[in-house]
Amino acid sequence: MYEGLNIRSEIGRLRKVMLYRPGGELLNLSPDTLGPLLFDDIPFLEEAQREHDCFARLLADEGVEVLYLDQLVAEALDAAPGARREFCKRWLDESGLDGHAARRAVRELLDSIEDTRAMVDKCIEGVRADELDLSPERAASLADLMLTDKNAGSPLVIDPIPNIYFTRDTFTVIGSGVSLNSMLSRTRRREGVFGEFVMRYHPEYAGTPTWYTSDLPHNVEGGDILVLGPDVIAVGISERTSSAAIDELAHRLLWGEPSSGISRVFAFSIPHKRSFMHLDTVFTQVDVDTFTVHPGILGTLVVFELTRGSHMGEVSIRRLDDTLDVILARALGLDAVRLIKCGGEDPIASVREQWNDGSNTLAVAPGRVLVYQRNAVTNDILDREGIELLEIPSAELSRGRGGPHCMSMAFWRDAV
């Protein structure tokens, strides 16, 4: 058994991982809500679940223990008296629902669900007006009245959380501790509640050292954090993660107690656009000395190295003017690294497969990675370069704009 958390690389033999199987939240997506809920299209749930089950099965076949976020949350809530009530209140507060009668009706709905995991799944799925008694007679305020059938602007009282199957973002394991991330968008901010309660109340993870907390004012998301080695991480300055958040995270990692073991933080400034939303969408590590990379970032990156300064609590920042391969080799303590371009030299294949997360891989061991099947050009190149591939069908999962790395949060890896 591999208890607790232990992530000191991106490629060590993967022993334990957390996923979330897509559920009813995808059925509550509609064309009108795609933009606010950060989706470009509506996945076909049944096929998305089949694809995700294949993903989980491939991991299990590699000897990886697969955990599920909703089950972990349920176990945490059942483990501590009062935790379920506290969770429901916090989730309701984060939902933005106004109106005393409406909040009371939602609480009654959640309280009526006896099984804790089913209740957690309901929080993820969202709440429709037709599930509640929101008659005008029960309205206690104008906010309540505007949710009743005649006045409602939407059939949803509380939006679903469809992005939650990208478990990489909600919190990040670094060493034996965790960054409880503060998500940029309101719709994803609710995801942080789930990770918080796991780390606060779950019997196996309660008391885990915390390197960042979701109540901090600056945004950081897990797709922007790569654990390159026992003492070094990379963080993206991106559309979703601010430089101020990296300042705070770096200070805690470099100077905090207990020690994180991190002595260097590399900050990569990447284009602030949806197709490059996180650092792990533009490069991921596939072997000891090999990365897959989107060629569109080559020559455009601005990189900084953050280390301890000469005085207590001080962080030293230095800009690095080398090429990406040189910077990564230095971070890893190697003479050189290989960069394998997503889509190769074909400019159309490159942007097409980048859009479908061709650079977003999940290593189960050095040189053995999970990839989306649909990225045929990139996969062929990786295969020819000696990387062993485990291909996931991805017609529907890819509609959410995230790949195997995005859909997983590694809990335990062996040393490289």
Q: How far is CA 190 from CA 82, 208, 220, in A?
A: 20, 21, 14
Peptide bond into 366 cis (omega under 30): no
* 201: helix, strand or coil: helix
Strand pairing report for 315-320 and 302-308: antiparallel
The Cα angle at residue 107 between residues 94 and 200, in degrees rounded to 5? 55
Comparing CA positions, the residue from 38, 279, 21, 43 lying closest to residue 167 is 21
To the query of whether residue 406 is one of the catalytic residues in this protein, the response is: yes
8 A C-beta contact, residue 59 and residue 52: no
308: left (phi over 0), alpha (psi -120 to 50) or beta: beta
Q: What is the DSSP secondary structure assignment for residue 394, as one 8-state letter?
A: -
Q: Considering the candidates 88, 123, 342, 406, report the single residue annotated as catalytic.
A: 406
Instruction: Return the half-sphere exposure (C-beta side, CA atoms, 13 A cut-off) of residue 49.
Output: 8
Count the Cβ atoms, other than its own, within 10 Å of residue 258: 9
Active site residue ranges? 406
